[in-house]
Amino acid sequence: LNLSPRELRAFRRVKFLGCGSAYYVGQIGAQMIEDLARIPADAEPASEFRYRNPIIEPDTLYVVVSQSGETADTAFAVLEIKRKGGTVIGAVNVVGSTIAREVDGGIYLHAGPEIAVASTKALTNMAMAFGMLALHLGRLHDLSYADGERISNALKAIPEQIQAILDSEPAIAAIAQRVAKAENAFFIGRVRQYPVAREGAQKLKEISYVHAEAYPTSELKHGPLALIDPAMLTVAVVPDDELASRNIAAVEQVRARGGEVVAITHEAVEFGTIAIERIVVPKTEPELDPILLIIPTQLLAYHAALVLGHDVDKPRNLAKSVTVE
């Protein structure tokens, strides 16, 4: 990071900036930092940043997120931060790329070359890197040794757990048959899982061209519930955490209006007699759950696109690396 423990401790705020999936995974990173380091953190689209004449604070750590390291909107955000004297680090996959060269320090993801336009493995590696960054910042603040060890052990187990999800791909592919038939879909998730829902909706739009929107689960009753009927599919992210009963109640409300539900969930979550399709992922520590819950959303989009006969690597109208404004 090119920052000493003393310099890192001085930051009172963390802001993530990225575009598309890199922005959504930044939201995941911000939540991890708030959870583990108890430093206020948020994410915003890098594409908007310089146009709103942002206030660059010396005690904010800016984290730019980019697979390619060449996304123009993100590179301009870096320039804006540097022009105003801010400290900016990068989470970048491509070694030696423009953004990697401009930042003050950072994390190389080493995810290997990513060919498909829609980011997948780079995104997972970004989320892992943010887990490690949050752990690091946490240990500089009030995260106990024991809690640090709990997170560190959980991070080490993640690759094996991802493999378990990949092993369940045929079951996810079967559910994707239903997703492919949908014309519209909602993705819902609460707090840590809201960015998972956003990324899930984005992936479905990008590669299967099924219209999808994400909402925080708690917002359902404040508007989108009006659209629920048998033609509207809902993908609900329902982890085994302190909000499970509230999430289950939301799923029940969707079912009561005839909406079909696919739940991305953990083994321990009981839906009772509520009729839904379940995709079960392995449980990790609550702060890290999004890393695993996001993977079935990618597989759903991938298999829905295959069913519909689309090119999953090169979706229409999109480029892998948007190097112009």
19 or 188, CB closer to ligand BG6?
Answer: 19
- Shortest distance, CB of residue 160 to ligand BG6, whole angstroms? 26
Q: Which of residues 91-120 bind ligand BG6 (CB under 6 A)?
A: 117-119
- For position 71 contacting ligand BG6 by CB under 6 A, the verdict is yes
Among the listed residues 60, 74, 161, 297, the single contact to ligand BG6 using CB under 6 A = 74
DSSP letter (8 states) at residue 277: E
247 or 297, CB closer to ligand BG6?
Answer: 297
Q: Residue 209 burial (CB < 10 Å; 0-12/13-18/19+)?
A: middle
- For position 66 contacting ligand BG6 by CB under 6 A, the verdict is yes
- Shortest distance, CB of residue 76 to ligand BG6, whole angstroms? 12
Taking CB under 6 A as the binding criterion, the range among 62-70, 168-176, 212-220, 283-291 that sits at the site for ligand BG6 is: 62-70
114 or 289, CB closer to ligand BG6?
Answer: 114
Strand order in the sheet with 211-216: 211-216, 184-189, 232-238, 260-265, 277-280
Among the listed residues 27, 31, 60, 68, the single contact to ligand BG6 using CB under 6 A = 68
Q: Which of 233, 243, 232, 228 is nearest to 189 (CA)?
A: 243
- For position 318 contacting ligand BG6 by CB under 6 A, the verdict is yes
122 or 244, CB closer to ligand BG6?
Answer: 122
- For position 20 contacting ligand BG6 by CB under 6 A, the verdict is yes
Alpha-carbon span 205 to 199, nearest angstrom: 10
Token pair for residue 211?
């219209």
168 or 321, CB closer to ligand BG6?
Answer: 321
- For position 321 contacting ligand BG6 by CB under 6 A, the verdict is yes
- Shortest distance, CB of residue 93 to ligand BG6, whole angstroms? 7
Taking CB under 6 A as the binding criterion, the range among 63-71, 171-179, 235-243, 262-270 that sits at the site for ligand BG6 is: 63-71
22 or 33, CB closer to ligand BG6?
Answer: 22
Q: Which of residues 21-40 bind ligand BG6 (CB under 6 A)?
A: 21-22
- Residues in contact with 90: Cβ distance below 8 Å, sequence separation at least 6, in sequence order: 63, 64, 65, 66, 69, 78, 99, 100, 102, 103, 105, 106, 107
Token pair for residue 189?
């998730």
Alpha-carbon span 55 to 50, nearest angstrom: 10
Alpha-carbon distance values, 280 to 166, 220, 283, 292 (Å): 12, 23, 9, 10
- For position 322 contacting ligand BG6 by CB under 6 A, the verdict is yes
- In which element (H, E) is residue 265 found? strand 260-265
Cβ atoms of 301 and 199 closer than 8 Å: no
Alpha-carbon span 152 to 207, nearest angstrom: 34
Q: Which residues are at the interface with ligand BG6 (CB under 6 A)?
A: 19-22, 66-68, 71, 74, 117-119, 318, 321-322
